[in-house]
Amino acid sequence: MAMGDHIFVYCAGYSHHGIDCGDGRIVHFDSGPWQKLARTVGAPIVPKVCETSWDEFAGERPVMVRRYEHSDDSQTVVARALSRVGETGYNLFGNNCEHFAVWCKTGQASSTQVDAFVEALRPVRRGFAATAMLMRGMRYAPAQVRVFVSGVALAATVGAASYRYWQRRQEQQDRCES
């Protein structure tokens, strides 16, 4: 790993991203050490951009480096990251840890996780529309048949969405190295 690298770790169902400052510090969106306590007492969790140690960022999880065809130099990347320390405004779909790290590297925010999720919704929308049309055509069929057909259609829709999502995530992983 080197100064200015966009690094990430896989968590349960998502990946967490940050920027390696090259001196053992990682800058990333973080909920802080009080996240579990805040959830327990029902307090709001306000993620903010912060500097943490390598161990706090990754724990025991393997760290991956995201490679870019074109990105800014490492000093610019780290300067961008440090310029946002203390910033709040986390938004899962528009300003998450991956948006932050990509912005630091390129000057433009994006998230492959969000893109994969949105892409996975396409078959869901189509599946629900097809199921609705199918069910409308079956309005005079016995109830058991309608329930069975709608269950099969729902299972196929969810399966297609899951496959698409994990396919996109695998493409992301293929562009990285550990």
Domain ranges of the chain: 6-108, 114-177
pLDDT above 70 as % of the chain: 66
Distance between CA atoms of residues 32 and 88, nearest Å: 12
Structure letter (DSSP) for residue 35: H
Cα dist from 23 to 3, 20, 85, whole Å: 8, 8, 16
Distance between CA atoms of residues 44 and 25, nearest Å: 26
Phi (first) and psi of residue 27, to 5 degrees: -105, 130
The architecture that CATH gives domain 6-108 is Alpha-Beta Complex (3.90)
Produce one character per residue of 21-52: b if its CB has 16 or more CB atoms within 10 Å, e if not: beeebbbbbbeeeeeeeeeeeeeeeebbbbbb
Are 64 and 7 a contacting pair, CB within 8 Å? Answer: yes
Is this structure's pTM higher than 0.85?
A: no
2-26 pLDDT tens trace: 999 999 998 887 889 999 999 999 9
71-93 pLDDT tens trace: 999 999 999 999 999 999 888 88
Mean predicted confidence (pLDDT) in 107-125: 79
